[in-house]
Structure 1
Amino acid sequence: MATFQRLIRFQSKEDGSIHYADIGSNDVSKVQGTRVQAYSSLDALSSKASSNTVTVDRLLAPVPNPNLPIYCVGLNYRSHAEEAGLKVPKQPPLWTKPAAALASPGEDIPVGKFCAEANLDYEGELVFVTSKAAKNITPEQAPEYILGYTVGNDISCRTHQAPENCGWQFYFAKAFDKFAPIGPVLLGAEHLSKDVKLVTKVNGDVVQESKCLEDMIFSINDILSWMSQETTIPAGTAVMTGTPAGVGLFRKPQLFLKDSDVVEIELAGAGAGVLKNKIVVA
């Protein structure tokens, strides 16, 4: 499997084709418009074969297979469970978002009236991507199956998530088109600091801040192991690992997302860039 420091997936300016590149220690905010050594796949990057020098035009979500469902974990932060007054379950709650929910860094998130009037909310999350197919693995084996880490926004319509409307089944409230922005950089698995801090901002104001690996109830290894029991998790699957305090069903209406709000999510100090998306209400 490919080894890299900071991976980007992008469209080239020359012909719009999709490439992968390891930008190393370079600042991802300055990479657009520059020429990089690029590869047509992760396997090609790993073998350092058949590279081309192309111009970065548009950054895409750094997932090897954008046609896969996105897995999500709920109630996985102590701070969030406390603010919501919810009992922590024995195992991580899981659901998926469809592939159509995936959005790229810098991409506008189009929202129709149906969602705009349903208490639209952000959820800044640490995301990991699998490196190979996983089934019935143990927590101890899990690190062998993780390609890297990035951030995502589990955008949610809280009205449709309320228990009286969904019976605690969260798929519908979170599965709308473009409701899973991810990126911009995938950190190689060995480059994630243990004290990494997840920070979410709305219009420049900090709304979430957490040392995510310390705040998590279920570890990343436990999550991937549990997901894989009697279920094949394909290589290249993106997994959103839950969100810290600062979100929830019980917000004041004025605190939910509205037209032209800009959400920014980052792993502070990790060099993974900032995931930035604007809400656009049609």
Structure 2
Amino acid sequence: MSFTRLVRFISTDGNTYTGDAILPAGTYDARKASEAKLIVGDIFGTYTVTDEIKTIIKLLSPLSWTQIPTVRLLGLNYAKHAIEIKMPKPTFPVLFFKPVTAIAGPTDPIPVPKLAQVDNEMDYECELVIVIGKKCVNVSEAEALDYVMGYAVGNDVSQRNWQMKKGGGQWSLGKMFDGWAPMGPAIVSSKLIKDPQALKISTKINGVVAQSESTSDQIFGVAKTIAFLSQGCTLLPGDVIWTGTPSGVGMGRKPQYWLRDGDVVEIELENVGTIVNKVEYENDFKAKL
């Protein structure tokens, strides 16, 4: 028996477990689950979804840092987003990376160090996240989805000043900070997502809608992305691929909107779930906004 919604969580005994979330009828969001069936074994190999039920006290990122070989991200992958920030539609996927230490849980705060607070241009990006389940290389677009374990939703938090102006043309400086890739709330089995290119995706800032789009606006869909990235480059089980953000980011708004200390960012992906993360400036340092 395979999982439907894989979660990693802290239970009543203080220990961390992996389980299959038990959802109330009519729901799809693992944040609404108070219990999960314990999973034992290697989730990328042989595992069992047991009948043992554990109470969920706190949801963590569905994969730990040690389970993720690489965090790949696509930029400019929604047509309307490229238009709003006045950049050309890419001919090939625009790829960059984050360290695994950027990965955080679905309700964790987003810590903002001093370096990211100065000249604050902190932005949000709702994204569909692919989780690779099997080793693959040189796969075709037709077979690419066979290598997907499942999907999550994530926030590619970005500091635009470091990304666009101070990084020497490399985007990673503005995206590298610890906790700046919260994801979850679960890995939803690819068997439950029939068409990853037909999902509503959205962001709310303090309850107000900022992004509302569909994954149908992606320039490079999930299958095309996996096929392209696997050409001559082996994708490993546990690799996560963030597939870009739609229009509505703070940088593209008029006037522009930058995240501030205390802002609550709520990101939802249809049939996958919601993550809610609060911006927290470190060391009580307040940037001049």
**TM-score under structure 2 length normalisation:** 0.87
Secondary structure at the counterpart of residue 96 of structure 1: strand
Q: Is the 8 A contact 2:131 2:239 kept in 1?
A: yes
Alignment of 1:177-256 (within 5 A): 177-192=178-193, 194=195, 195-212=198-215, 214-247=216-249, 249=251, 255-256=257-258
Q: Which moves more between the two structures, 93-102 or 222-231?
A: 222-231
Kept after mapping to 2: 8 A contact 1:129/1:146: yes
Against the structure 1 CA distance between its residues 253 and 82, is the aligned structure 2 distance closer, same or farther, given a 3 Å change threshold? closer
Q: Quote the residue 2:109 is aligned against.
A: 108
Matched-pair identity in %: 35
Distance 2:39 2:211 in 1: 36
1:175 corresponding residue in structure 2: 176
TM-score when normalising by structure 1: 0.89
> Which amino acid in 2 is paired with 1:139?
E
- Computed over aligned residues only, the root mean square deviation of the Cα atoms, in angstroms, reads 2.3
CA drift of 1:243 comes to 0.3
Q: SS in structure 1 opposite 2:31?
A: helix
How far did residue 10 of structure 1 move? 1.3
Aligned length: 275
Q: What is the 5 A alignment of 1:155-170? A: 155-162=157-164, 164-170=165-171
- 1:105 positional shift: 0.9
Give 1:171 deviation, angstroms: 1.1
- Corresponding residue of 1:258: 260
Query: Does the aligned pair in 2 maintain the 1:66–1:102 contact within 8 Å?
Result: no
CA contact (8 A) 1:63 1:238 kept: no
CA distance in 1, matches of 2:62, 2:43: 15
Moved more, 68-77 or 12-21: 12-21
* Paired residues for 1:73-88 under 5 Å: 73-88=74-89
Query: What is the alpha-carbon distance in structure 1 between the residues aligned to residue 50 and residue 4 of structure 2?
Result: 20
Hey, what's the Cα distance between the residues in 2 that align with 1:198 and 1:273?
10
Distance across 1 between alignment mates of 2:276 and 2:173: 24
User: Contact 2:38 / 2:49 at 8 angstroms: preserved in 1?
Assistant: no
Gaps of 5+ in 1: none
Aligned-pair CA distance for 1:254: 6.5
Distance change in 2, residues 1:39/1:256 (3 Å) = same
Q: In 2, are the aligned partners of 1:105 and 1:277 still within 8 Å (CA)? A: yes
**How far did residue 5 of structure 1 move?**
2.4
Deviating beyond 6 angstroms after TM superposition, the runs of 4 or more aligned structure 1 residues are none
Give a deviation string over 1:31-58, Cα, whole Å, max 9, x none. 23x4x32113454996536663322121
CA distance in 1, matches of 2:206, 2:41: 35
The answer (yes or no) to whether the contact 2:37–2:50 under 8 Å persists in 1 is no
Q: How do 1:74-153 residues align onto structure 2 when only pairs under 5 Å count? A: 74-117=75-118, 118-153=120-155
Distance 2:102 2:47 in 1: 31
* 2:204 alignment partner AA: K
C-alpha distance after superposition, 1:127-150 (max 9, x if no partner): 110011121111112111001111
Shift of 1:7: 2.1
Structure 2 Cα separation of the partners of residues 67 and 5 of structure 1: 20
